[in-house]
Amino acid sequence: MESVLRLCDITMQFGGVIAVNNLSMEVNKGEIVALIGPNGAGKTTAFNAITGVYEPTNGAIYYKDKLVISNKPRGKMKKLYAGENNGKYHTVMSKTPDKLTKLGMARTFQNIRLFKSMTVFENVLTAKHLRRKSNLFTATFHLNYKEEAKMRAETLELLELVDLLDVKDELATSLPYGKQRKLEIARALATNPELLLLDEPAAGMNPQETEELTEFIRTVREKFDITILLIEHHMNLVMDISDRIYVIDFGKEIAEGTPAEIQSNQKVIDAYLGVAEEDE
């Protein structure tokens, strides 16, 4: 199987706190992989390390078998570092979020971040800026009108695929919550990604909206032939669509497997429900 994203021994330490501890995971082409864990387990921190918001303290990340992010304990961390695998990684490499998006990783946000002053159409169109071939001069003097027309046509096509065409001229923020989420995913798709990273896509949704979203994510994978990594709290959604699940607790991976395996894994049940104390 072709690997799309591979995390090797990612450790994220803030001061003395280890938020993510030696996390390794792999996402293969065409899969939907979920990263779950109880509150404060370090899911979002891991997500931020993957998307270039944070620089991991130690470890490496490969995108399509190419090294994109790598770090070793440096500076103050040299003394403070309390994680494992110290000395295993030597290269220092980091990428800003925009570079990662250019490589083909697009993300959404937990608290929806749409461009507020723009319409639905413009929101998606703006994401097309990344793949432009025009430069500042040709764009300013509208010499790239062919490319511009193509961008607009593609945007309309995408909006039709995600079923938002009827609201294309409405202000993005005036949409109902479920549609805003959909639009955010559509905007990410407009950057032509191969890997879609969803940060709690069902946050703040009611059961019915969650169900619709589950269906939507599934159709997105089929229509766009895309790989998806998601963080989520809604177990219904996770168990429904994931091919594989990673469970972390206190920053450490405690289980990995198919939804059925995870559901019956004692460690996972303990992490979520707490360990029953033996009666004396």
Binding site for other proteins (CB under 8 A): 51, 96-98, 101-102, 106-107, 109, 113-119, 122, 125-130, 132, 134, 136, 139-142, 144, 148, 151, 169, 187-188, 191
CB of 102 to other proteins, least distance (A): 5
- The answer to whether 61 and 103 have CB atoms below 8 angstroms apart is no
Residue number, 52 or 83, with CB nearest to other proteins: 52
CB of 132 to other proteins, least distance (A): 6
Residue number, 186 or 262, with CB nearest to other proteins: 186
CB of 163 to other proteins, least distance (A): 20
Residue number, 183 or 239, with CB nearest to other proteins: 183
CB of 95 to other proteins, least distance (A): 11
Residue number, 131 or 267, with CB nearest to other proteins: 131
Residue number, 140 or 236, with CB nearest to other proteins: 140
Report the alpha-carbon distance of residue 70 to residue 67 in Å, rounded.
7
CB of 97 to other proteins, least distance (A): 5
Report the alpha-carbon distance of residue 94 to residue 28 in Å, rounded.
22
- The answer to whether 9 and 85 have CB atoms below 8 angstroms apart is yes
* Pick from 46, 55, 199, 40: nearest CA to 113: 199
Residue number, 107 or 244, with CB nearest to other proteins: 107
CB of 199 to other proteins, least distance (A): 10
Residue 197: partners with Cβ closer than 8 Å, 6 or more residues away? 47, 50, 51, 105, 106, 107, 108, 228, 229, 230
Report the alpha-carbon distance of residue 270 to residue 2 in Å, rounded.
33
List, in sequence order, every residue forming a beta bridge with 12; answer none if it has no partner.
20
Please list the alpha-helical segments (H only) found in the chain: 43-50, 77-80, 97-103, 120-127, 136-140, 145-161, 177-189, 207-224, 235-241, 259-263, 266-273
